Chain A
């Protein structure tokens, strides 16, 4: 049997066929379309990989008895959400919208242009991100099917409606927020704040985990079971964000360099900001907070990464890291139980990032008109997403029940909802005999 040629040799052979002559012979428009498609699909895949990051980050911050449930929610919300977005969300968000409010076509996209499929693929990944933000906030006490129902509504309606105002339309008409000059390049507000405000609504409806707060409101720490997984999740999200922001150009262009550099600076500065804030408050420098800080930085530069200079990206991330710590404390003070800090990271820092995109819009810094428009956009996102998500969660609570039963919290949602265990070899100290 002949030995198999090594993979690098095969790759080099393939590259030899792509000569300058071969490229020149190709239609430039077709080549550009091909390159744009490759860029969009590759970055879309990177955004999809962020689901893995969220799954690891959120499950690591939950107790071992709820790890499978958290991963299941992250794994399956993008399954159900994909079809909800295809059927309804994409059309509402990007369909023809002459009045700038809602899209009216491109539902159940089919028989379309090739680029449309690439765009749908990329935007489906974005929609999944908006929905999955909620899962971590409501972890450890939310009924699986209630969460999935919520994520379908978020992906199919709540997220696309605001998206239509800020980003619509791809085909005809312009969203009303976009018309007045609202800037949110890759979705600090459209994706992250909307997800964060939905999470806040869910937290209010579902209530805190049993015993999370003492009789006088003092918060009790409930440590996550795997901090290594939290860090790995953070790294994966960081990597995926290069696709999230870089891919938002929708075309392969030279500006991508600045975008991904700003993205990286935002994340790094976010982590540093969190560490600095913890030192200032004389609190221990925690890994979980530091990872959340880098994600807060990523969220915050998402809106302005294409329109701000690296120095400002760094500053935006730094403030986001600090703001994350402060808003996490405020949440605890208000007895709001957010397991992974989704509201501070995505809601609050998304709002800050959107404001920063207006403040640091290069080269016209601190333009009051632009900043005012940004504030209008931030407030609109809250006014739309929070009440609609609250109503949705309330309706779910009244019908199928949002909160898992108390006994499910005791046994862990892995057993109660899925009849599985994450770590059967060393788990089972206080479990029912069936699953032990």
Chain B
């Protein structure tokens, strides 16, 4: 019989419970927090990529006074990002020019998605937040090591530096596509095409690899 991982005694689990408890205390009554924590440990803690489903549960069943997207973002911030990086979203982080030490393709990705987020934010800050949330959701479901995912999610979320890791080309292309699809949902395909075109143009001035991500 395969060994079952005892996640409740995992030090990461205790840390997550604490972080979750801190978050829920600001949103629910003490009874609500206890019930929500029970549901988390029973149904979601052991499932990879279950944050969106848990966010949905909190909004629908516990009546958390947040939208699904915002709830999901808060969960990502509290449960997945290292404690030092928690805090308000740093909008400027996405637009920063990546260091030359960053692998070429990651650099191209950061430049392209950064330009896209910046353009999106100029037009409508709420849309930029929604787009970040879409990208975080896509990154969360990607097959990545925990460390690589945390770095990527932190950058996409706007609360971490540019990830100095070499990511798979297919994954980065998928994320660029998720950004385009997110723009389609927000504003429709003609605007999404225009925004992507302009972002490619801007990013290409600094990095020749950009079109490999399209």
With A210-B189, A211-B187, A212-B188 known as contacts, the answer to whether A410 contacts B197 (CB < 8 A) is no
A407 at the interface (CB under 8 A from B): yes
Q: Which candidate, B35-43, B158-166, B177-185, is the interface stretch facing chain A?
A: B177-185
A281 to chain B, nearest CB (A): 22
Chain A residues closer than 8 Å to B183, beta-carbon distance: 211
A433 touches which of B181, B193, B197, B211 (Cβ 8 Å) = B211
Are the CB atoms of B212 and A433 closer together than 8 Å?
Answer: yes
Assess whether A222 is interfacial by the CB under 8 Å rule. Answer: yes
When chains A and B are docked, how far (Å) is the Cα of A436 from the Cα of B186?
A: 27
> Is B79 positioned at the interface, with any CB of A under 8 Å from its CB?
no
- CB-based contact B185/A215 at 8 Å: yes
* Distance between B128 CB and nearest chain A CB, rounded to angstroms: 17
- Chain A residues with Cβ below 8 Å from B187 are 211, 220
The distance in angstroms between the C-alpha atoms of A433 and B173, with both chains bound, is: 13
Contact A214/B211 with A410-B177, A429-B200 known, Cβ cut-off 8 Å: no
Question: Chain B: how many interface residues by the 8 Å CB criterion?
Answer: 22
A403-436 interface bits toward B, Cβ cutoff 8 Å, 1 = contact, 0 = none: 0001101110000000000000000011111001
Decide if the interface of chain B is mainly helix, strand, loop or mixed. Answer: helix
Q: Once the chains bind, are A406 and B181 in contact (CB under 8 Å)?
A: yes
- The interface residues of chain B lying within 8 Å CB-to-CB of A209 are 189
Q: A436–B197 Cα gap in the complex (Å)? A: 12
Query: How far is B150's CA from A286's CA once the two chains are assembled, in angstroms?
Result: 51
Instruction: Among A63, A407, A430, point to the contact of B196 (Cβ < 8 A).
Output: A430
Q: Does chain B have a CB within 8 A of A223? A: yes
List of B residues within 8 angstroms of A211 by Cβ: 181, 183-189, 192
The interface residues of chain A lying within 8 Å CB-to-CB of B60 are: none
Q: CB-nearest residue of chain A relative to B186?
A: A211
Contact among A65, A222, A407 with B173 in the assembled complex (CB-CB below 8 Å): A407
Q: How far is the CB of A86 from chain B (nearest CB, A)?
A: 40
Chain A residue at minimum C-beta to C-beta distance from B189 = A211
Cα of A406 to Cα of B192 in the assembled complex, Å: 13
- B1 to A: closest C-beta gap in Å: 36
Known A-B contacts A430-B197, A430-B200, A431-B214; the reply to A410 vs B190 at CB < 8 A is no
Could you tell me the distance between the alpha carbons of A210 and B183 in the complex, rounded to whole angstroms? Answer: 10
Within 8 A of A (CB), among B16-50: none
A210 to B212, alpha carbons, bound, how many Å? 22
Convert A32-76 into 0s and 1s, putting 1 for each residue whose CB lies closer than 8 angstroms to a CB of B: 000000000000000000000000000000010100000000000
- Closest residue of chain B to A436, judged by CB? B211
Q: How far is the CB of A303 from chain B (nearest CB, A)?
A: 37
Q: Are B189 and A212 in contact (CB under 8 A)?
A: yes
Determine whether the beta carbon of A432 is less than 8 Å from that of B190.
Answer: no
Measured between alpha carbons, how far is A63 from B183 in the docked complex, in Å? Answer: 17
Structural contact, A407 and B197, CB atoms closer than 8 A: no
Contact: B184 with A210, CB < 8 Å?
yes
* Alpha-carbon gap, A411 to B192, bound state (A): 12
**C-alpha spacing A177/B184, complex, angstroms:** 47
Pairwise interchain contact B177-A406, C-beta atoms closer than 8 A: yes
Instruction: Encode contact with B along A277-294: 1 for CB under 8 Å, 0 otherwise.
Output: 000000000000000000
Least CB separation from A412: chain B residue: B193
Give the distance to chain B from A184, nearest Cβ to Cβ, in Å. 38
Residues on B with beta carbons closer than 8 Å to the beta carbon of A431: 211, 214
Check if A210 sits within 8 Å of B173, measured CB to CB: no
A220 to B192, CA, bound (A): 12
Shortest CB-to-CB span from B21 to chain A, Å, is 33
The yes or no answer to B85 lying at the interface (CB within 8 A) is no
Q: Which residues of A contact B173 (CB under 8 A)?
A: 407
Task: Using CB atoms, name the residue of chain A closest to B214.
Answer: A432
Q: Tell me the B186-206 residues at the A interface (CB within 8 Å).
A: 186-190, 192-193, 196-197, 200-201
**In the complex, how many angstroms separate the beta carbon of A100 from the nearest chain B beta carbon?**
48
For residues 40 through 85 of chain B, which have their beta carbon under 8 Å from a beta carbon of chain A? none
List chain A residues, Cβ under 8 A from B177.
Answer: 406-407, 410
- The interface residues of chain B lying within 8 Å CB-to-CB of A407 are 173-174, 177
Say yes or no: A429-B201 contact (C-beta < 8 A), given A210-B181, A407-B173, A410-B180. Answer: yes
Q: Which B residues lie within 8 Å of A223 (CB)?
A: 190
Q: Is the CB of B180 within 8 A of A222?
A: no
**Chain A stretch 184-231: residues in CB contact (< 8 A) with chain B:** 209-212, 214-215, 220-223
Chain B residues with CB below 8 A from A65, complex form: 193
Measured CA separation A136–B184 after assembly (Å): 21
Given contacts A411-B214, A429-B200, A430-B200, contact A220 B188 (CB under 8 A): yes
- Additional A-B contact list (19), CB under 8 Å, known A406-B181, A431-B211: A63-B193, A65-B193, A210-B181, A211-B183, A211-B186, A211-B188, A212-B188, A220-B190, A221-B190, A222-B189, A406-B177, A407-B177, A410-B214, A411-B214, A429-B197, A429-B200, A430-B214, A432-B211, A432-B214
**Can you sample 19 A-B contacts with CB below 8 Å?**
A63-B189, A65-B193, A209-B189, A210-B184, A210-B189, A211-B183, A211-B187, A211-B189, A221-B190, A406-B181, A410-B196, A410-B214, A429-B193, A429-B201, A430-B193, A430-B200, A431-B214, A432-B211, A432-B214
Closest 10 A/B residue pairs (Cβ): A211-B184, A429-B197, A220-B188, A433-B211, A430-B197, A210-B184, A430-B196, A432-B214, A211-B189, A211-B188
Measuring CB to CB, which residues of chain B are less than 8 angstroms from any residue of chain A? 173-174, 177, 180-181, 183-190, 192-193, 196-197, 200-201, 211-212, 214
